Amino acid sequence: MGMISNMFLSLRVILLLLVLMPYQSMQGNEQNDSLRTALNLANDQGKVDILNALSFNYHRYQPDSCLYYATEALILAEKIESKAGEAKARLNIGLYYTITDQYILAEEALEKGIEIARDIADYRNLSNALGYMGVLNQMRANYNLALYYFLEALDIEKEFGSKARLVPIYGNLGNLYDQLNEFDMAKNYYSKAMEILQKENDNAHLAALYGNIGLTYQHEEKYDSALLFYNKAIAVDSFLNNLSALADNYGNLAATYLSMNQYLESRMAYEKALQIDESINNNSGIAFDLAGLSSLCLQVINDTANPEKREKILEMFNGREALLNKSLGMALRSEMISEEIGDRNYRIYGILKDIHVALGNYKQALEYNERYWKRKNEVASAEKARAFARLEAQAESEINKKKIELLEAEGSVNRIFLASAMLILVLSLVALGLIIFQLIQKRKANKQLEQLNNELQLANDAKKKFFSIIAHDLINPIGGLSTSIKIFKEDYHDLSEPERQTYLKAFSESSTKAYQLLTNLLEWGRFQKNQIPFQPKVQDVTPILKDIIGLYAQLASKKGVALEFISNGKLEARFDSYMVNSMVANLISNAIKFTENGGKVTLSASIKKPFLEIQVADTGIGMNKEKLDGLFRLGNHQHTEGTNEEKGTGLGLIMCKEFLDLHGGKCQITSKEKVGSTFTFLLPLEYIN
Label residue 12 by pLDDT band (50, 70, 90). Answer: very low
Give the amino acid at 228.
Answer: L
Residue 340 has pLDDT above 80, yes or no: yes
pLDDT at site 568: 79
Label residue 431 by pLDDT band (50, 70, 90). Answer: low
Mean confidence (pLDDT) of the chain: 78
pLDDT at site 422: 55
Taking the C-alpha atoms of residue 374 and residue 346, their distance in angstroms, rounded to an integer, is 9
Q: Which of 182-196, 438-452, 639-653 has the highest mean pLDDT?
A: 182-196
Residue 599 has pLDDT above 90, yes or no: yes
Residue 426 has pLDDT above 90, yes or no: no
Whether residue 307 is preceded by a cis peptide bond, meaning omega within 30 degrees of 0, is no
Pairing between β-strand 572-575 and β-strand 537-540 as defined by DSSP bridges: antiparallel
Q: Which of 651, 683, 655, 652 is nearest to 667 (CA)?
A: 683
Residue 350 has pLDDT above 50, yes or no: yes
Pairing between β-strand 666-672 and β-strand 600-608 as defined by DSSP bridges: unpaired
Give the DSSP H or E segment for 85.
helix 83-99
Whether residue 536 is preceded by a cis peptide bond, meaning omega within 30 degrees of 0, is no
pLDDT at site 389: 37
Percent of the chain at pLDDT > 90 equals 22
- Point out which residues pair with 671 in neighbouring strands: 677
Q: How many other CB atoms are there within 10 angstroms of residue 107's CB atom?
A: 18
Pair 248, 234: CB distance under 8 Å: no
Taking the C-alpha atoms of residue 185 and residue 218, their distance in angstroms, rounded to an integer, is 15
Taking the C-alpha atoms of residue 196 and residue 206, their distance in angstroms, rounded to an integer, is 9
Label residue 217 by pLDDT band (50, 70, 90). Answer: very high
Label residue 564 by pLDDT band (50, 70, 90). Answer: very high
Residue 169 has pLDDT above 80, yes or no: yes
Residue 589 has pLDDT above 90, yes or no: no
Taking the C-alpha atoms of residue 526 and residue 653, their distance in angstroms, rounded to an integer, is 16
pLDDT at site 162: 80
Q: How many other CB atoms are there within 10 angstroms of residue 16's CB atom?
A: 24
pLDDT at site 515: 62
- Burial class of residue 529 in the structure, from the number of CB atoms within 10 Å of its CB (0-12 exposed, 13-18 middle, 19+ buried): exposed
Residue 141 has pLDDT above 90, yes or no: no
pLDDT at site 528: 60
In total, the chain counts a number of residues equal to 689
Residue 3 has pLDDT above 70, yes or no: no
Per-residue pLDDT tens over the stretch 639-661: 566 666 665 556 677 778 888 88
* Total-model pTM: 0.50
Pair 451, 392: CB distance under 8 Å: no
Label residue 335 by pLDDT band (50, 70, 90). Answer: confident
Label residue 521 by pLDDT band (50, 70, 90). Answer: low
pLDDT at site 373: 83
Residue 216 has pLDDT above 80, yes or no: yes
Residue 15 has pLDDT above 50, yes or no: no
Sequence-distant (≥ 6) Cβ neighbours of residue 623 within 8 angstroms: 631, 640, 671, 673, 677
Q: What is the mean pLDDT of residues 233-250?
A: 88
pLDDT at site 208: 85
- Identify the three-state secondary structure at position 532: coil
Pairing between β-strand 611-618 and β-strand 600-608 as defined by DSSP bridges: antiparallel
pLDDT: which is higher, 482 or 200: 200
Percent of the chain at pLDDT > 70 equals 73
pLDDT at site 440: 74
pLDDT at site 493: 76
Pair 683, 611: CB distance under 8 Å: yes
Per-residue pLDDT tens over the stretch 90-122: 999 998 998 887 889 999 999 999 999 999 999
Label residue 461 by pLDDT band (50, 70, 90). Answer: low
Sequence-distant (≥ 6) Cβ neighbours of residue 221 within 8 angstroms: 259
Q: What is the mean pLDDT of residues 60-64?
A: 79
Pair 154, 169: CB distance under 8 Å: yes
Give the amino acid at 369.
Answer: N
Label residue 603 by pLDDT band (50, 70, 90). Answer: very high
pLDDT at site 602: 96
Residue 39 has pLDDT above 80, yes or no: yes
Give the amino acid at 670.
Answer: T
Sequence-distant (≥ 6) Cβ neighbours of residue 582 within 8 angstroms: 523, 655, 656, 659
Taking the C-alpha atoms of residue 247 and residue 56, their distance in angstroms, rounded to an integer, is 19
pLDDT at site 245: 84
pLDDT at site 684: 87
Pair 136, 107: CB distance under 8 Å: yes
State the Cα angle at 62 between 58 and 66, rounded to 5°.
Answer: 50
Q: What is the mean pLDDT of residues 471-480?
A: 55
Label residue 272 by pLDDT band (50, 70, 90). Answer: very high
pLDDT at site 18: 39
Report the b/e string of 169-201 with b at 16+ CB within 10 A: bbbbbbbbbbbeebbebbbebbebbbebbeeee
Give the amino acid at 185.
Answer: M
pLDDT: which is higher, 461 or 444: 444
Label residue 242 by pLDDT band (50, 70, 90). Answer: confident
Q: Which of 576, 548, 541, 555 is nearest to 687 (CA)?
A: 576
